[in-house]
Amino acid sequence: MLVIVQAMVFMVVLPSKIPRMKKLMLLILLLSTGVAANAQQIPALSAKQIIARTTAQDTVYIVNFWATWCPPCVAELPEFNALQQRYAGKPVKILLVSLDFKEDYPFKLARFLERKRMTPEVVWMTDTNPNVFIPLIEESWEGSIPATAIVHMRNKYKKFVEGSVTERQIATVVDKLLTE
């Protein structure tokens, strides 16, 4: 909202000698910059860096591999918002790993996340060769998305699910891990 007010002031303050079309183009540029500045920061990480983020002994990790162009992935995203809310303040970390194309990172991805009001942390995976990154993440993974891993280092637990998941399915596993 502040960006819109700033843009309106900007339009009024601009000298009248500047043609209307140039003012309009400057306004569009200002507004688009403001939206990008308010969007979630999305780190670009390799598969090895993503794995390294799941090593704390006292934390249960829920790691989902997805993309904006994958309808089943997009359909299950609200489940991860619900899980984020359910486990707020508990030793549970949700990480959404985007497998979107390089040309969609970061702007299209950031706009998508803002529109969907996603609350879990999102990273974009830089690796593009599935023959390299899939075996690093899970040997049994055939490469389809969505795919979700639940990891708990203290219990030496790892469950990997190819296909869509629900909040209830994940919560059943996570609740058990938190009580062990």
Cα 34 to the center of its chain, rounded Å = 20
Q: Is the pLDDT of residue 8 over 60?
A: no
Per-chain mean pLDDT for the chain: 86
Instruction: Please report the domains of the chain, with CATH numbers, ordered by start residue.
Output: 2-38 (no CATH), 44-179 (3.40.30.10)
Name 106's Cβ contacts closer than 8 Å, sequence gap at least 6. Answer: 42, 44, 124
Tell me the residue type at 53. Answer: R
The pLDDT of residue 10 is: 42
The pLDDT of residue 38 is: 44
Cα–Cα distance, 135 to 63 (Å, whole number): 16
- Please name the residue that has the structure tokens 């502040």: 2
Residue 63: exposure state from Cβ atoms within 10 A (0-12, 13-18, ≥19): buried
Indicate the pLDDT class of residue 31, thresholds 50, 70 and 90: very low
Distances in Å between the Cα of 27 and the Cα atoms of 1, 5, 12, 39, 48 are 14, 11, 11, 19, 42
Cα–Cα distance, 102 to 126 (Å, whole number): 8
DSSP state, 167? H
The pLDDT of residue 93 is: 98
Indicate the pLDDT class of residue 11, thresholds 50, 70 and 90: very low
Q: Is the pLDDT of residue 35 over 90?
A: no
